[in-house]
Amino acid sequence: MSAEPAGAPGVEASDPMKVVRTRRYLVLLIMVAILGVPISAAAFGFLALVHELQLLAYQDLPRALGFEGTPSWWPVPLLALAGLLTGLTIRHLPGLGGHRPAEGMAHSGPPAASELPGIALAALASLGLGAVLGPEAPLIALGGGLAVYAVRLVRPGIEPGGRAMVAAAGSFAAVSALLGSPLLGAFLLMEASGLAGVMLGVVLVPGLLASGIGSLVFIGLGSWTGLGTYSLKLPHVPHAPQPTLAEFGWAVALGLAAALAGTGIRRLSLFLQERVERRTVVATTVMGVIVGVLALLYAESTGEGASEVLYSGQDALGGLLSDDAAYSAGTLLVLIACKALAYCASLSSFRGGPIFPSMFLGAAGGLALSHLPGLNATSGFAMGIGAMCVAMLKLPMTSVLLATLLLGSQGITVMPLVIVSVVVSYVLVLRLERPVAARHTAPR
């Protein structure tokens, strides 16, 4: 997503606020408001389709074949199929299936119209069949690409600055309700795209407008269809006492641990990505098998469901916190190990977003540490989410908001602890970071 709206719409960048007072800017706002409705509806439909594919693949299909439940080995062939389909999409369709999730949340601009089918198909194959990734990156790309395509049909000569704002607004609309709040999605996109300075307000207003409209569309469609809003919400959050000195010590420890773990996951996924791109179809299929085997190992070793290792982890966060007493520290450690390795394999080859699995891993890590003295479960849960998110995304403001707004009123109580863990993790990650040159290897 480009952060170059300075030319929009035809006003000199010396006084960016002049843009807001132009007639073209008002027209742009009206256009964004109109586009927000179909784009957010399309995003809702995409999420609904992913959800239905997951139910079909892991619940309905095993029953149709005569199994009483889903066998623990079931993810292995299904993830192999996911790898094959994703690899073929990346190889044969324009756009390489969209953004490489191992490379974080960086954006280079909206995709071309010819790339949108490949992005959608790669994401559906990955997310619908159980890869350990979230839907946010495909939604951002699809929302921005659809918005620019629609505007070009109406105004082929739209200026680059106006096109950038339309793309940003389309992305805002697509992820408006996914993170539980339109404002949280806005913060994510602003930090990820590097929007700052005097132009922030110029781009932010259309984005917030599209985000608000998109959130209303999600709520309306969720109520009308009975499918829900596919929003990140925790219905039951245990009470968090006021922070203690011991918990501030745990915030530092969690920040350090998350930075080391996140750096390791990122480096391993990038290492694997280089090798996957040499033989895309075969290697992506192999990575799918690895994810399935890790889910099988977790299920067989703990007696828990293999699905806890699969998917983004978004829907499992609430149960992880409310049912914390049902998970021993050993079970949580096995879950973290299997999920982290499956996350690395998915980041290296599949298509999706990196946010939700990092949240799940951080939450599980915080809950595992809460079995030790001096740390309550809710505080550990929140600190783990914030520290691991910033370790993977390097977006500190978004990471703090994700960890605190998610907990509702309890988030205000734990916010000081989350800030400490996020800052510690962020600073250490920057110290450990190795510059990674962008790769554009054509898949084979």
> Mind spelling out the 3-state secondary structure of 75-117?
HHHHHHHHHHHHHHHHHHCCCCCCCCHHHCCCCCCCCCHHHHH
CA-atom Rg of the chain in angstroms: 21
The predicted structure's pLDDT at residue 170: 82
Q: Rounded to the nearest 5°, which phi and psi values hold at 58?
A: -110, -10
The predicted structure's pLDDT at residue 419: 95
User: Across residues 240-245, what is the average pLDDT?
Assistant: 90
Specify whether the backbone of 10 is left (phi greater than 0), alpha (psi in -120 to 50) or beta. Answer: left
Distance (Å, rounded) from C-alpha 410 to C-alpha 95? 42
Task: Measure CA of the first residue to CA of the last residue in the chain; give whole Å.
Answer: 27
Q: Rounded to the nearest 5°, which phi and psi values hold at 353?
A: -115, 155
Distance (Å, rounded) from C-alpha 300 to C-alpha 136? 31
Distance (Å, rounded) from C-alpha 339 to C-alpha 342? 5
Question: 3-class DSSP state for residue 142?
Answer: helix
Confidence at 409, pLDDT banded by 50, 70, 90: confident
Residue 69 to residues 76, 132, 184, 306, 352, Cα–Cα distance (Å): 16, 22, 38, 12, 28
The predicted structure's pLDDT at residue 202: 58
Task: For the chain, give percent helix, strand, coil, nearest 5.
Answer: 70, 0, 30
DSSP type of residue 243 = P
Q: Which of 239-243, 341-345, 386-390 has the lowest mean pLDDT?
A: 239-243
- 69 vs 8, more confident: 69
Q: Rounded to the nearest 5°, which phi and psi values hold at 406?
A: -60, -30
Residue 354 · residue 105 · CB < 8 Å: yes
Which range, 68-72, 139-143, 274-278, 322-326, is most confident? 274-278
Write the CB contacts of 250 (distance below 8 Å, at least 6 apart in sequence): 369, 374, 375, 379, 380, 383, 417
Distance (Å, rounded) from C-alpha 292 to C-alpha 111? 31
Distance (Å, rounded) from C-alpha 119 to C-alpha 128? 14
* pLDDT tens digits, one per residue of 421-430: 999 999 999 9
pTM: 0.86
Longest dimension (CA), the chain: 69
Residue 403 · residue 386 · CB < 8 Å: yes
Which range, 12-26, 178-192, 196-210, is most confident? 178-192
Residue 321 · residue 238 · CB < 8 Å: yes
The predicted structure's pLDDT at residue 151: 83
Residue 2's identity, in one-letter code, is S
Residue 2 · residue 167 · CB < 8 Å: yes
Residue 347's identity, in one-letter code, is L
Encoding tokens for residue 331?
């079970």
* pLDDT tens digits, one per residue of 15-38: 556 666 677 777 777 877 888 888
* pLDDT tens digits, one per residue of 294-314: 999 999 999 998 999 999 988
The predicted structure's pLDDT at residue 368: 94
- pLDDT greater than 50 at residue 2: no
Residue 199 · residue 5 · CB < 8 Å: yes
User: Across residues 40-59, what is the average pLDDT?
Assistant: 92
Residue 179's identity, in one-letter code, is L
Residue position matching structure tokens 């969209």: 98
Confidence at 150, pLDDT banded by 50, 70, 90: confident
CA 136, 121, 84, 310 torsion-angle sign: positive
Question: 3-class DSSP state for residue 134?
Answer: strand
Residue 436 to residues 266, 270, 322, Cα–Cα distance (Å): 11, 9, 39
Per-residue b/e over 369-408, b at no fewer than 16 CB within 10 Å?
bbeeeebbbbbbbbbbbbbbbbbbbbbbebbbbbbbbbbe
Residue 180's identity, in one-letter code, is G
